[in-house]
Amino acid sequence: MRTAIIFATIMAATTNANAKLTPAERKELTADLKQWQTLFGDSAQRNGFVPEGLSLDTPNDELLVRMKAAKQRVPELAKENPDASFTHLSPLALLTKDEFKHYVMKSFKRGKRALRADKVDWASVGAASASGGVDWTKDSKCVNPVKNQGNCGSCWAFSATGTVESAHCIATGTLLDLSDQQTTSCAKNGNLGCEGGLEDRAITWIHDNGGICLSKDYPYTSGKSGQTGSCKSSCTKQKLAIGATVNIKGEGPLETALKTQPVSVAVEAGNQVSITP
């Protein structure tokens, strides 16, 4: 299991633009905001991480107070998670807790889990064989670079597509860049496109569909449009060496499964912290 440093995206806890800032705070926060704009300003605006009506043209009190609230969360989180490292400088730093929750919860508008899956008693295997660590991004060539879902609640589609890419690569030795857009637009078995879905249902759809197309033939557009888009079938599906989905529960079984291949994991992220590797 990865033990690398983790950077948490800290969200502002308040939007009270009338909060009093000392001259020293104002100077420090203005410098932080300038650095944030250099690093993330363009991408934050492009992906909908800047609240509507909030101007980034000048370092106004609203921006400074949001940055201050985000910064105040860092020592609290460091105390709660001593094995991780946190920073207030991230693309989502200017969002309040409620704004962030509204953004990420778009990916969780779905019903109860009801899925056909292979029944494997991972618990009987235990975690003993999973001692040590594994990092598929370093220990193999079967993981593509991190992708950006943009302004669309399609994290489930990216997770499913990435897991399928790795599983196929492990079986064949060939890493494909598969279409996240096709999964977002076409996996309709209980999924809602940009309004959320389930990664295991998406994997099942890919399996039952006989594969999906490459990204270059069906590029991702929902990140900019914020729309699911209509399903297209004009591209050529890649035949994939994957089986049906397997559901696992518990940390021990998860560690064991990770020794075999990358795993798609759903995380309840409707709070003020988004963790990114």
Q: What is the pLDDT along the chain (277 residues), one digit of tens a residue?
A: 332 333 334 445 444 444 688 999 999 999 999 999 999 888 888 877 888 888 888 888 999 999 999 899 888 888 888 877 888 888 888 988 888 877 766 655 544 443 444 544 545 444 444 456 788 988 889 999 999 898 898 999 999 999 999 999 999 999 999 999 999 999 998 899 998 899 999 999 999 999 999 999 999 999 989 999 999 989 999 999 998 888 888 888 888 888 888 999 877 655 544 443 3
Task: Return d(Cα 59, Cα 29) in angstroms, integer.
Answer: 9
The helix/strand/coil state of 118 is strand
- Burial grade of 80 (CB within 10 A; 0-12, 13-18, 19 or more): exposed
Q: Which residues contact 21 (CB under 8 A, 6 or more apart)?
A: 29, 61, 64, 65, 68
Residue spans per domain, the chain: 25-95, 112-117+135-259
Domain 112-117+135-259 has CATH 3.20.20.70: no
Task: Return d(Cα 84, Cα 7) in angstroms, integer.
Answer: 7
Evaluate whether 157 touches 183 at the Cβ level (below 8 Å): yes
Task: Give the total residue count for the chain.
Answer: 277
In order of 5, 72, 89, 186, 234, the CA distances from 93 in angstroms are 19, 12, 6, 33, 40
Q: How many CA atoms lie within 13 A of 119 on its CB side?
A: 0
The residues with which 108 forms a beta bridge, in sequence order, are: 196
Tokens describing residue 143: 């993981």
Task: Return d(Cα 113, Cα 159) in angstroms, integer.
Answer: 17
